[in-house]
Chains A and B, each alone.
Chain A
Amino acid sequence: MKKIVISGLATALMLSAASLTYGAELTIESWRNDDLTIWQDTILPAFMAANPDIKVTFAPTAPAQYNAALNAKLEGGTAGDLITCRPFDSALDLFNKGQLAPLNELSALDNFSDVAKSAWTTDDGSTTFCVPMAAVIHGFIYNKDAFAELGLSEPETQEEFTAVLDAIKADGNYIPMAMGTLDQWEAAAMGYQNIGPMYWKGEQGRLGIINGTEKLTDPQWVKPFEVLAEWGQYLGDGFEAQGYPDSQTLFTLGRAAIYPAGSWEITGFNNDADFELGAFRPPLPNAGDKCYIDDHTDIAMGLNPASPNAEAAKVFLDWMGSEEFAQLYSNALPGFFSLSKHAISLDDPLANEFISWRSECDSTIRSAAQILTRGGTPNLWSGMWTASANVINGTQTPAEAAAELQAGLESWYEPQQ
């Protein structure tokens, strides 16, 4: 007994001595508690193998509590050294309050495009304060077995897309598309923002609204609503009372043929669906048009200026811009794609399909994400939820929906007045 105690004490001493030999210990604040094992088993060991004098711990909080918990920790001075950044205003707020350090001198940032950095850069574009990690891409996931059974192929254009939907509907064995409007968010994120960039030409349209040179009532912004208005007839019975988890289940049970998606669904669908999955990008308005995809920036990493280990943290942030990190992260979390310029190869075929669109199309982010949802009431992004759901439900015409969004934006956003 005594021996065990002594040897236990000895081990403890050795362990604490071992940890003293590390140069620095870093802690990562994050809301991705789902990814804990991936960080612990895959990502951090790779970094620590290359940098043995730096010890990194991943310490996530539950997503819903992250913002509040992080604020409390930052204000109390107990926050970790590295801080996972939410996109746009919530990270910008932290930077403005001096709770995120500017990272302009970090060479790793050169490995990211301006669109990738836009979510964590000040409005004037002068300072970037987080290293972009991952984006999610919108598109459509479909049931390959169902398509084979009905002799259908992936649609390229809107016309072909409608033909495919009509064929599935005529056959009657499958619900053409799995989507509901109860939660409204699906209608906006997987509907309007999914197909919209093709019409408003990605960044051109998004910046046009921000600069005030385009209006939400312009044809390129109304047209996607007109396409959505057609969707209602292809959704399942009672789609008005169908929520987001209902749609996911409907598709993975094999009862629906197409699922308007975001790439974050990949892991879940791979686990739940027992048929072969394929993906096609949002349909082109006309054959031969240039294509634009919604490649929405979602997650990044910043530096706590109060950190005593800033130098070590910068080493870690620099590594996050490397090809090794991009490769590791994108493969561990299929569907969350590294935002770096490195060409990465993915093992998951579905994730590969999504990321291949980056080379064919121009990327943009959700049109309402930057600046346009700042402070004002009514909120443009929430407005898009309601408007898109109304248009699909058929309770509002596309023109009315667009006019309401425009009026709401004009009421507080100066460049649009």
Chain B
Amino acid sequence: MTKALTNKKRPFRWHILVFLAPAALIYTVVMILPLAETLRLSFFHVDTTTREVTFIGLDNYKELFFNVNWVGPFFRALWNNFYFFIIHMLVQNPIGVMIAALLSMFHLPGKKFYRTAIFMPTLLSFVIVGFVWKLMLSPLWGVSKGLLTSVGLGSWFMPFLGREETALTTLAFISVWQFIGIPMMLIYAALLSIPEEVIEAAECDGVTGFAQFFKIKLILILPTIGIISILTFVGNFNAFDLVYTTQGALSGPNFSTDLLGTMLYRTFYGQQTQPGDPNMGAAIATMMFLIILVGVAIYLFFIQRKLTRYEM
């Protein structure tokens, strides 16, 4: 009886293919093909006057890593990107967790208002955020000088966006301000999904307050924090808009705010009299893709596997 059943050949399940097809097709057209095309583009060179296209293999990459005029800017942008990411990890995510923890305390008055208000900047366009902050920090018309002076810190005021030492940090803080709503919301949701019984059990054992947060809740939301870290990483290494709107395509002062994204933009599309070089730009874009890929892979293979997930 059982033998007869297993021997009977199952019909091919076409509906699986049919249902997968739209997603696979759209993903291929808008993601995989452009990626492959970028890779292909980076192996060619177009002569600026004759428009002749030649296959040059890895020469664009050789140029990028061995020509002083490329390798310096590239690693400067890479380092700036890491710095930008580190600030987000040290400031945005811990504060996001903290705000979420505060919001999840059910007796907090006005918490719906705070939740919305803190999430609002995330919905704004980069351009608006960039211009608003640029105006607020402006030494001519900005409010920041007056605000600092009113609390007795007037001497701390600097043209923050105009100094090499402070510009990138300032931009990182602006970006943190804008995106803090995302870790907050995700952690908030994770905290709410912790079952009451777990908390009640902890309370019965006398674990309350800070100890309860660090020993129970934080452990339970670690996988979410991991996801947030990887989202931050991908977002930061693709960052471009904020720098472009506040500092322009040359990422001043003296390239101190140049990220991989702005370098890619400048190379690909050109800048004023500098003609764009789509092929070299494609090489940089491919490097960005590889860096993000390696980062995500490290997370998936070495960190996420070690995170213990608890059944809740």
Q: Give the B-binding residues of A (Cβ under 8 A).
A: 88-89, 93, 96-97, 180-185, 236-243, 246, 249-250, 368-369, 373-375, 377-379, 381-382, 385-386, 389-390, 393, 395-396, 408, 411
Q: Is the interface of B mostly helix, strand, loop or mixed?
A: loop
Q: A96-B49, A385-B250 are in contact. Are A242 and B273 (CB under 8 A)?
A: no
Q: Is A242 touching B140 in the complex (CB atoms < 8 A)?
A: yes
Q: Give the A-binding residues of B (Cβ under 8 A).
A: 48-49, 51, 67-70, 134, 137-141, 158-164, 247-248, 250, 252-255, 271-275, 277, 280
A89 to B190, CA, bound (A): 57
Of chain B, the residue at the smallest CB distance from A183 is B248
Q: Is A382 touching B250 in the complex (CB atoms < 8 A)?
A: yes
What's the nearest-Cβ distance from chain B to residue A389, in Å?
6
| Residues from chain B with Cβ under 8 Å of A97 in the complex | 51
Q: Is A89 touching B253 in the complex (CB atoms < 8 A)?
A: no
What's the nearest-Cβ distance from chain B to residue A240, in Å?
3
Q: Is A395 touching B254 in the complex (CB atoms < 8 A)?
A: yes
8 A-B contacts, Cβ less than 8 Å apart?
A: A183-B252, A238-B140, A241-B139, A373-B273, A379-B274, A381-B274, A385-B250, A408-B69
Q: Is the interface of A mostly helix, strand, loop or mixed?
A: loop
What's the nearest-Cβ distance from chain A to residue B275, in Å?
6
| Residues from chain B with Cβ under 8 Å of A368 in the complex | 273
| Residues from chain B with Cβ under 8 Å of A396 in the complex | 254
Of chain A, the residue at the smallest CB distance from B51 is A97
| Residues from chain B with Cβ under 8 Å of A381 in the complex | 272-274
Q: A184-B252, A382-B272 are in contact. Are A375 and B48 (CB under 8 A)?
A: yes
Q: Is B69 touching A390 in the complex (CB atoms < 8 A)?
A: no
Q: Is A182 touching B247 in the complex (CB atoms < 8 A)?
A: yes
Q: Is A240 touching B253 in the complex (CB atoms < 8 A)?
A: yes
Q: Is A389 touching B140 in the complex (CB atoms < 8 A)?
A: no
Of chain B, the residue at the smallest CB distance from A243 is B134
| Residues from chain B with Cβ under 8 Å of A236 in the complex | 139-140
A89 to B270, CA, bound (A): 13
Q: Is A242 touching B162 in the complex (CB atoms < 8 A)?
A: yes
Of chain A, the residue at the smallest CB distance from B50 is A96
What's the nearest-Cβ distance from chain B to residue A7, in Å?
50
Of chain B, the residue at the smallest CB distance from A381 is B273
Q: A88-B273, A381-B274, A411-B69 are in contact. Are A241 and B159 (CB under 8 A)?
A: yes
Q: Is A379 touching B162 in the complex (CB atoms < 8 A)?
A: no
Q: Is B139 touching A390 in the complex (CB atoms < 8 A)?
A: no
| Residues from chain A with Cβ under 8 Å of B162 in the complex | 180-182, 238-242, 393
Q: Is B253 touching A395 in the complex (CB atoms < 8 A)?
A: yes
A73 to B255, CA, bound (A): 36
| Residues from chain A with Cβ under 8 Å of B272 in the complex | 185, 379, 381-382
Of chain A, the residue at the smallest CB distance from B163 is A240
| Residues from chain B with Cβ under 8 Å of A242 in the complex | 138-140, 159, 162
